[in-house]
Chain A
Amino acid sequence: MSKKTIRPKIKLPQIKPNLLWERAFARDWWLQGGNRERKLAPTEAHLSRAGLKILLLGLLLALLTLGACGDEAANKLAVTKPGNATTVATQPAATVAAVSEADKAEAAKINWFQMRPEQAQNWQLLADPADKMKFTLTLKDKSQKEGNEKKLLTLFPKKSSAYDIALNTLLSDYQSNKLPVSFTAINYNNEAEAGQRALDFAQSEKFDLIFTLGSEATAFVHAKFRNGPIPVVTVVSKDPVLLGQMPNYEAGSGTNIAYTSVNVPIELQMLYLQELKPNLKNIAVMYEKSNSSAIETQVEPLRKAAQARNINVLDVIVVNDKEARAELAAKVPEALKKMAKNDPDQTNSIFWVTGSTSVINEIAIINQNAAKIPVMSVFPELVQEGDNSAVLSIGVSFETNTHLAAVYGLYILQGRNKAGDLKVGTITPPDIAINFRKANQVGLKIPFALFESASYVYDYDGKAVRKAGQSVNK
């Protein structure tokens, strides 16, 4: 059986070397409320892991891009004779333009947003000469601009790599969807007046849709622009139900705002935990005392849901983040003792790591002290290669949440739905990652259905065997 596959000639995307690390950091920073300084200093080992990740991701993306498609004009099906079966491969056209020096110079004028190279190939960034906090993005492919162009505003409350991920994902999704759109990004720097000016500008320029990036921008628009004339979709924002912006998950807001949530709904999270441990008795929830965001959206909802199921919740609190390692080294064994009271075999208890940097950073110490009790997390990136990993994570990445927001935006722009009719966008199934090395160490069996849903899987040696849903050839 001979096969001949037509390969497109396109440039491989250039991956920003520290992208994954940035992503991990951004999430951690964002989950803490975004007001803290960047303090997750990567160790050498961390960097080397990140480097390996980048290399693997680069290879993966290269493979994926080889099979990727371009515009429809180039979608002519080429028939080849592969032997028993005829393969008809879609042939993408190399429509992406090279990033010119002028483009780079223009992008450099904006210091609060970092565009990914693959997006820079498709989108033209134009800084506003009169306003450093504003820029526009238009599609380079003129054929995609045909039709009634929609004007989208992305509202940044401040500079954040989390928002970089969000806008880059939006750019990628809208370019793929071939909808004629242009983006305008405004950073109002958490100044109410500037925020109001941005909203007035959107109204005067008759924008079609606003994306609010982050919980702060969402809260601002919720307060100032609810029932406004332009539809709004929230991106990488905390659970609007827990924050009181929405009464429930079942209905739309009835206003001009469609909410999405970056949190896994707590009931769903409990469902997964009980799937893992049907007789779950103890959850030792680990968080940083100063991280009010994590407490508000993760710890307290978990406590409430657990208590409703007669599950004991123990608090493992890092009081001083600079002493996190020492504190955890002492508090994790204490938690173990408490759990032993109603679970002497340690078979029906778990450690649950919330999105607190100081806790995430000390996964090695936690694992060392957790004995046979599995350590799980809401933070997808905490499941990683090797031993310094959680057993399992059930969470939502920024990218996943942004994809959902992009879909909501598309529905609204296409007139399929009104913003107020769209119920709170939650992600089902959430992003799941499993480390079987860790699972084996603690004697945890993974439900088959959970394994099937996992996007990232690490084997008994702690090596990645599935990444982004695809098997990794060893």
Chain B
Amino acid sequence: MISRRIGNNYFTGLIATVMVLAFSLALLTYVGYGEARRIYPRFEIAKVAAQGELVKNSIEQILLSNLPLKQFPGFSPLTNPVLESTQSLSAIYVTDTTQQPVFVNGREGDDSFAVPSASDFQTSRLQAGNTRYDVTESGDNYQISLTLKNKFEAVGKLNLLLPKSVISRQIDTDFFYVVMAAVVLLVLYAGFILIKGRSKQSQESTLWMAISYGVIFLVMAMVVIVTLVILYSGGIQGKTEALAKSLGERLNVPLKLGLEIDSLDKLDQTFKNYQELNPDLSYVALTRNNQIVIHTNPAQVGKQWQAENGYFKQDVRLEQAAEKGQLEVHVGIPTSLVFGELWQAAKNFIALFVASILLSTLFFNLINASNRYRGSERAPAARQAFDLSLVAPFYFLIVFADSLTNSFLPQYFRELAVKEQFEPSTASMLFTVYFAAYALSLVITSQLSERENLKLLFMVGPMLIISELLILAFVQNFYAMFVVQALAGLGQGIAFIGVQSFILRVAARMKRTRSAALIVFGYNGGVLSGIAIGGLLAADPTIGRQGVFLTGGIIATLVLVYAALLIPKKLATAEAVEAVALVVGEPVGTQAPVHTGFWSGLGQAFSDFRFIKGAFFIGIPTKIVMAGLITATLPLLLAQQSYQTEDIAQIIMFYSAVVLLSSRPISTLADKTGRIGLILFIGSVLGGVGLILIGLIGWSGIFSDSTAYLKTVVLIIGLMALGLSHGCIQAPVITYMSNTRTANVLGRSAATSIYRLFERIGNIGGPLLISQLLVLSSGNISAISFFGMALIGLGILFAFRLPKGSRQLQQAESKS
């Protein structure tokens, strides 16, 4: 029976790994596709807008001469060349101030063309700042509108209509080959691991599977990036052509009137202005018989024209009689612009890669454990490792499902609160509810976890999470969010207790600390991957927040199925369960607990200076920051600072990654050196510094527009400092508590439990405290700096030691 389960699990691992890769490749393609849909239309829009400028200039020439808009002659002859040269345009039309059409020119054959209603269009997410045109979009079209003015006021708009389908067709064509590549790579990988996965040399085969996984991922990433480069290059070339043509047409106006360029002055100023209006342009030049007459770089004037490499170039010949010299306008956009645009895609790929690797590692471990178990003639130790590898994906994925929403949940709650006319700060209460429910679940399930059948916990946790995510997906009511958060807190708490109890029962006593690392990995890895992927999905308007909630629900459902099928009802190597709230990095004590009442235990803790200062100066503030800032408000604050959803996710990833990476080495360091107090002090100071840095981004006058990138750098450094701080505190603080007088008197587990209770104060109060702080500072993130200073102050207080006499008295009490 067990054998069959393990055999099944081998294939489950294989299938799961291929599925994870398929999921990753699909996401990679999707992210690339999403990026293409996000970026490419901008080039097309910029191109069309440049052509629109041409039409606008001609119309305004008439308007500035005081003629009414309706009296503009020759709209069709003016716009026909634009329509003919730009296949992505379906119509050009002018509307008056009442949004009624005045002139319309549509594409051939489209007899049924009717000017769409202005109410169909909303401001597009493609609207860039500081442009001379508005971009709106409806379900089917993008509309670029340029305001037409006479000398007194706006008299109408010139509108250019781009069907989304035409733009999408170009992207779809290119991405068809990307999908094909993904399928081929997936099949190759499946074949490879089917062969390698059977190897008895499990370590080696796992290594090969991991390497090939990484290679496949990178190859696919390259395919996507090359596709984007090709697509973007085409878009930028089109934009370059349009800008060159637009300027060329302006310069042709005097020539067409029979005037010569030489009669005109300050063209260099015109070129400079044109470059300022189109900052992507590297140069604008005019040549006569191939000699530079005007150049935005004055040093080039007088030289022979030579096209330089590294630019998308376009030359336009002006309509001057040949005997007067051949005039040409040259414009160029640097090819590096393509790579600049790729940065966002590359950033998303890296985030995805990290999430994907973390996710796949779980299944590699499952395959590995399965192989080892089969290879070790079912030895108990191998069975333990196998059972542990079974529980790891469960915890990772259940945290992952919930964390998909982390990068935008505070904004979502706030928007709901505002919509239903609650104070925006009310939204923070929802996070308090979450942590309160989490704490409550620990109390409720602590009794249940001692029973034989843990599987119930593995089933109930995901069920609550599924309910929570489905309510989020389908109910948009602020009151319902209290239920949602309660369900989420209970679900996560129950799942945590289930996993913790499972590990305690399965893992050999000597391996419990290492096994507890599964929880560290599961929690932080799940959060990290969830934020990364959730941020990417939410940023895509076709998926949006509701789509992310549903995705989370589906993943939680898969976790439920996984638990139902694979988590055993009975554990073969069940050991005596300690009533220990096993936590991240907690060393499992050997001292038997002294059973005392709760209140007397609490009294003991309050009389222990070391215990109290550890809890109140280190533990609780840390939880306040984690629950109140990182979880409940940071995404909101970053959104207020104009960061996009995917950027918020990736910025918070730095925090999670540092916690994940630093926890284990710092715990080891703490164990080796025994300088727990010093590490906690450093952690506290680092946390304070991190918060000060995060708050700096809200201080006016520190970052100018030209140093805006520094703001993000400072923010990331602040979050990394905060991550390192929490890495210094989360595990060592437990060790610290287990070495207090309270632990000596009550037993380590009881002392730890009391400490955990104190921590919940931070968890529950954190969102309220931080949100109130922000309310007092009118929502300015700079207030976080003050909290950082307070944290440093608390760290210093923690470092404060009682006078020698008091310490001796306490030690004496402890011994007695």
A: residues with CB less than 8 A from B are: 1, 3, 5, 63-69, 72, 75, 77, 79, 81-90, 92, 176, 275, 397, 399-400, 403-404, 407, 425, 427-429, 436, 439-440, 445-449, 451-453, 455, 457, 459-460, 465-466, 468-471, 474
Which residues in chain B, 242-259, are within 8 Å of chain A measured between CB atoms? 250, 253-254, 256-259
B152 contacts A3, C-beta separation under 8 Å: no
Give Cα distance in the complex from A468 to B114, angstroms.
32
A86 and B67 contact, Cβ closer than 8 Å, known pairs A407-B152, A449-B266: no
Pick from B72, B256, B267: contact of A448, CB under 8 Å:
B267
Whether A84 lies near B108 (C-beta < 8 A) is: yes
Interface stretch among B57-65, B364-372, B376-384, B616-624? B57-65
Is the beta-carbon distance between B104 and A459 smaller than 8 angstroms? no
Taking A440-B263, A446-B265 as contacts, is the C-beta distance between A176 and B62 under 8 angstroms?
Answer: no
Query: Residues of A contacting B705 with CB < 8 Å?
Result: none
Find A465's partner among B73, B151, B258, B266 (CB 8 Å cutoff).
Answer: B258
Max chain B Cβ within 10 angstroms of own Cβ: one of A65, A427, A429, A468: A468
Contact status of A468 and B84, CB under 8 A, knowing A67-B73, A448-B266, A451-B264: no
Residue of A75, A447, A469 near B100 (CB, 8 A) is A75
B100–A72 contact, CB under 8 A? yes
Chain B residues lying within 8 Å of A397, measured Cβ to Cβ, are 66
Flag if B259 contacts A63 (CB, 8 Å): no
Instruction: Provide the bound-state CA to CA distance between A89 and B76, in Å.
Output: 9
CA–CA, A87 and B471, complex, Å: 52
For chain B, the count of residues having a C-beta within 8 Å of the partner chain is: 54
Q: Which residues of B contact A439 (CB under 8 A)?
A: 263
Contact status of A448 and B100, CB under 8 A, knowing A64-B71, A64-B73, A176-B68 = no
Give per-residue flags for B358-401: 1 if the beta carbon is below 8 A from chain A beta carbons, else 0: 00000000000000000000000000000000000000000000
In the assembled complex, 29 residue pairs joining A and B whose CB atoms fall closer than 8 Å, in A order, are: A1-B80, A5-B76, A65-B71, A67-B72, A68-B70, A69-B70, A75-B101, A85-B80, A85-B83, A85-B108, A86-B107, A86-B109, A87-B104, A88-B101, A88-B104, A90-B102, A399-B66, A445-B265, A447-B265, A452-B253, A459-B258, A459-B259, A465-B259, A466-B257, A468-B65, A469-B62, A469-B67, A470-B62, A474-B258
A73 to chain B, nearest CB (A): 12
Report if B269 contacts A (CB, 8 A). Answer: yes
**B71:A85 contact, CB within 8 angstroms:** no
Across-interface contacts of A68 in B (CB, < 8 A): 70-71
Contact status A446-B65, CB under 8 Å: no
- Bound: A79/B91 CA distance, A: 13
Q: In the complex the two chains form, is B263's CB within 8 Å of A90's CB?
A: no
B43 at the interface (CB under 8 A from A): no
Q: Which residue of B lies closest to A474 (CB)?
A: B258
Taking a contact as CB atoms under 8 Å apart, the answer to whether B111 and A451 are in contact is no
Q: Which residue on A lies nearest to B251, using beta carbons?
A: A448
- Complex: A84 Cα to B70 Cα, angstroms: 24
List B residues 107-133 near A (Cβ within 8 Å).
107-111, 113-115
- Interface of chain B, helix or strand or loop or mixed? mixed
A440 to B645, CA, bound (A): 60
The answer to whether B110 touches A86 (Cβ under 8 A) is yes
Q: In the assembly, what is the distance between CA of A82 and CA of B104, in Å?
A: 12
CA distance A33 to B62 in the complex (A): 32
A403 contacts which of B57, B115, B152 (Cβ < 8 Å)?
B152
Give which listed residue, A5, A427, A468, A471, contacts B257 with CB less than 8 A: A471
Report the minimal beta-carbon distance from A437 to chain B, rounded to whole angstroms: 10
Interface flag for B650 (CB, 8 Å): no
Q: Give the chain A neighbours of B264 by CB distance below 8 A.
A: 445-448, 451
Once the chains bind, are A446 and B263 in contact (CB under 8 Å)?
yes
Q: Find chain A residues with CB under 8 A from B106 CB.
A: 79, 85-86, 88
Closest 4 CB pairs of A and B: A469-B65, A88-B104, A445-B265, A455-B65
CA of A83 to CA of B106, assembled, Å: 11
- Inter-subunit contact B269/A449 (CB<8 Å): yes
B61 contact set on A, CB distance < 8 A: 452, 469-470
B265 touches A448 (CB 8 A): yes
**Contact of B66 with A471 in the complex, beta carbons under 8 Å:** no
Across the interface, B258 reaches (CB within 8 A) one of A65, A446, A460, namely: A460
Q: Are A451 and B254 in contact (CB under 8 A)?
A: yes
Q: Are A90 and B151 in contact (CB under 8 A)?
A: no
Query: In the complex, what's the smallest C-beta–C-beta distance from B291 to chain A, in angstroms?
Result: 19
Q: Are B73 and A84 in contact (CB under 8 A)?
A: no
Contact of B151 among A3, A83, A429, A446 (CB under 8 A): A429
Nearest residue, chain A, Cβ from B76: A87
Residues of A with C-beta under 8 A to B266? 275, 447-449
Supposing A400-B66, A407-B152, A468-B62 touch, asked if A460 and B73 sit within 8 A by C-beta, the answer is no
Whether B76 and A3, one on each chain, are in contact in the complex, defined by CB atoms closer than 8 angstroms, is yes
| Contact in complex: A88, B100 (CB < 8 Å) | no
Q: How far is the CA of A404 from the CA of B79 in the complex (A)?
A: 30
Q: When chains A and B are docked, how far (Å) is the Cα of A471 from the Cα of B61?
A: 10
Is there a chain A Cβ closer than 8 Å to B276's Cβ? Answer: no
Question: Closest residue of chain B to A430, judged by CB?
Answer: B151
In whole Å, how far is B286's beta carbon from the nearest beta carbon of chain A?
11
List, in ascending order, chain A residues with CB within 8 A of B111's CB: 79, 81, 86
Chain A nearest CB, measured from B363 CB (Å) = 57
A1 to B441, CA, bound (A): 76
Residues of B within 8 A of A449 (CB): 266, 269-270
Other than the known A82-B76, A86-B113, A448-B269, what 19 A-B pairs have Cβ atoms closer than 8 Å? A68-B70, A77-B104, A79-B106, A85-B105, A86-B109, A176-B68, A176-B70, A427-B151, A427-B152, A429-B64, A445-B265, A446-B263, A448-B266, A448-B270, A457-B259, A460-B258, A469-B61, A469-B62, A469-B67
Tell me the complex Cα distance, A447–B62, Å.
20
CB distance from B91 to the nearest CB of A (A): 8
In the docked arrangement, what's the CA distance between A453 and B149, Å?
13
Chain B residues contacting A407 (CB-CB under 8 Å) are: 152-153
Contact assessment for A455 and B258 in the assembled complex, using a CB-CB cutoff below 8 Å: no
Shortest distance from the beta carbon of A397 to any chain B beta carbon, whole Å = 8
**Nearest CB on A from B789, distance (A):** 45
Question: With A3-B76, A465-B258 as given contacts, are A69 and B65 in contact (CB-CB < 8 Å)?
Answer: no
Kindly supply a per-residue 1/0 record for chain B positions 492-515, scoring 1 wherever the CB is within 8 Å of any chain A CB and 0 otherwise: 000000000000000000000000
Report B101 CB to chain A, min CB distance, Å.
7
A240 to B: closest C-beta gap in Å:
17
What is the chain A residue whose CB lies nearest that of B60?
A469
Interface residue B103 (Cβ < 8 Å from any Cβ of A)? yes
Give chain A residues whose Cβ lies under 8 Å from the Cβ of B66.
397, 399-400, 403, 468
Which residues on B sit within 8 Å (CB–CB) of A85? 76, 79-80, 83-84, 105-108
Residues of B within 8 A of A436 (CB): 259, 263
With both beta carbons as reference points, the residue of chain B lying nearest to A176 in the complex is identified as: B68
- B150 contacts across to A, CB distance below 8 A: 403
Q: Which residue of A lies closest to B111 (CB)?
A: A79
Chain A residues within 8 Å of B100, by CB = 72, 75
Q: Chain B residues with Cβ under 8 A from A457's Cβ?
A: 257, 259
List chain A residues, Cβ under 8 A from B80: 1, 82, 84-85
From B62, B84, B254, B262, give the contact of A84 (CB < 8 A): B84
Q: How far is the CA of A3 from the CA of B108 in the complex (A)?
A: 11
Say how far B481's CB is from chain A's closest CB, in angstroms: 42
How many whole Å from B162's CB to the nearest CB in chain A? Answer: 15
